[in-house]
Amino acid sequence: MTYMDVLQQVKKKQIAPVYLLYGTESYFIQKITAYIKKAVLPDDADPSEHLSVYDLEETPVQEVITDAETYPLFGGKKLIIANNPGFLKTKPDKLPFDHDLDTLSRYLSQPVDYSIIIFTAPYEKIDERKKVTKLLKQNGVAAECNPIREYELRSWITNLAGSMKITIQDDVYELLESELTANLHQLRNELYKLKLYVGENGTVTREIAEKLVAHSGNSSSLRLVDAVIDRDLHKAISIYKDLEKMKEEPIGLVALLAFQFRTILRVKLLNKKGYSQSQMRKQVGVHPYVIKMAMQREKKFTTDRLQEIMDKLAETDHAIKRGGMEKGLAFELLLHELVQ
């Protein structure tokens, strides 16, 4: 089942005795777990009596089953979270103990009605051929919790912003998509930061987003390119200093700038040949936002000027790697040359 399918069931308090949450998107796993916990455990429940959390890299699964089969002292439901079931992987890690999977299999065939077990497997893949995996899926509820696709990001921004009661202006979406990719934890944290700034029912503008959203190295190189285009040396140096605080190395920034200007050059050449944006994206292999920005930027350069910039970037890269100049100074001199 999908994450949304399982979440909808849990929200309706249709709780199964066993769950398998697998995949590398921790946001999905934590969200489903939180809703199950809310549905199963009353607000006044004593965690020591009704909630147990195990790491299956440290505890045999048979101990988890023993706990599940032990009736709560004061009645009610018991929630058990069993993390890292490595025995579901194709090549399980070696542990100082053995997991008794027969005991687990017997339990799955007839689970008790007073315990709910959640197995959380934060792995890219689990072995679907294994008997225990098949039993978990047949006798429990399994939710695939893998990262969202790039094309789904915009709808997630809309959904999360809606749940926070804030409005995102149209020109902010592309910025968020390029900055945050498909990391939902980061996306939620950044949107929450924006909510605190604009308040409930507030509107997030491009200016606010650019000021508050944490910039990735790739998007910061886009901002550096803008500063070069605008011949704003002060802004270029300021962006560089911000990146320095983020522990970005000058040699890496040269590579990021080279990537951006190379993209602008390639888009310019493809544009001359009559390529569409979607065709360019397939040729260059970058985010649609990067292609869109490159199409706007290429109009401000001649092909010869872009080639000169690429040569200057290559010279600076060589100078830093050769150790002929202090790397920070070499990068600042590069910015001076690009702006001039």
- Residues 193 and 273 reside in one and the same domain: no
Residue 310 has pLDDT above 60, yes or no: yes
- Which of 212, 235, 257 is where one domain is finished? 212
Q: Does residue 154 or residue 135 have the better pLDDT?
A: 135
Q: CA-CA distance, 236 to 233, in Å (whole number)? A: 5
- pLDDT value at position 44? 67
**244 with 335, same domain?**
yes
Let me know: does 176 contact 213? Beta carbons within 8 Å.
yes
**Domain final position from 144, 172, 204:** 144
Asked if 188 and 214 touch (Cβ cutoff 8 Å), the reply is: no
Do 175 and 254 have their domain in common? no
Partnered with residue 22 across adjacent β-strands are: 121, 144
Kindly tell me the sign of the dihedral angle through the C-alpha atoms of 8, 10, 11, 12: positive
Rounded to whole angstroms, the Cα distance separating 24 from 26 reads 6
Q: Residue 293 has what pLDDT?
A: 81
Strand, coil or helix: 130: coil
Amino acid at 113: D
Would the pLDDT of 308 be above 80? yes
Structure tokens at 73: 């002292």
Q: Could you tell me which residues are beta bridge partners of residue 107?
A: none
Judge whether residue 78 has pLDDT over 80: yes
| CATH number assigned to the domain comprising residue 185 | 1.10.8.60
- Same domain? 134 vs 160: no
Pair (66, 168) in one structural domain: no
What CATH code is carried by the domain that includes residue 90?
3.40.50.300
* Alpha carbon distance 321, 324 (integer Å): 8
| pLDDT score for 272 | 92
d(CA 61, CA 6): 24
- Asked if 315 and 224 sit in the same domain, the reply is yes
Span 183-206, average pLDDT:
88
The CA-CA-CA angle for residues 15, 162, 289, to 5°, reads: 115
What is the per-residue pLDDT across 62-74, written as a single tens digit (0 to 9) for each?
999 999 999 887 7
pLDDT single digits (tens) 211-242: 887 665 555 666 777 888 888 888 888 888 87
Give the domain range for residue 284: 217-339
pLDDT above 90 coverage of the chain, percent: 47
- pLDDT tens sequence across 109-149: 999 999 999 999 999 889 999 999 999 999 999 999 988 87
What's CA 244's distance to the chain center, in Å?
23
Looking at the fold, whether 205 and 241 belong to one and the same domain comes out as no
Residues 168 and 46 in one domain: no
Q: Is the pLDDT of residue 47 over 70?
A: no
Comparing 175-179, 268-272, 281-285, the range with the smallest average pLDDT is 175-179
Q: Give per-residue pLDDT as tens, 6-29.
A: 999 998 989 999 999 999 888 899
Look at 239 and 298; give whichever has higher pLDDT.
298
Q: How far apart are CA 136 and CA 122, in angstroms?
A: 16
Residues 6+ apart with CB under 8 A from 125: 89, 90
Contact criterion met (CB below 8 Å) for 157 and 168? yes
Tell me the DSSP string of 192-206: HHHHHHH-TT-EE-H
Q: Does residue 297 sit in the same domain as residue 195?
A: no
Number of domains in the chain: 3
What mean pLDDT, rounded, does the chain reach? 87
- Phi and psi at residue 170, in whole multiples of 5°? -55, -40
- Examine the fold and report which residue of 167, 188, 212 is the final residue of a domain before the chain moves on: 212
Q: What is the dihedral of CA 31, 32, 37, 38, to 10 degrees?
A: 70
Do 203 and 223 fall into the same domain?
no
Q: Are residues 29 and 108 in the same domain?
A: yes
Q: Are residues 80 and 174 in the same domain?
A: no
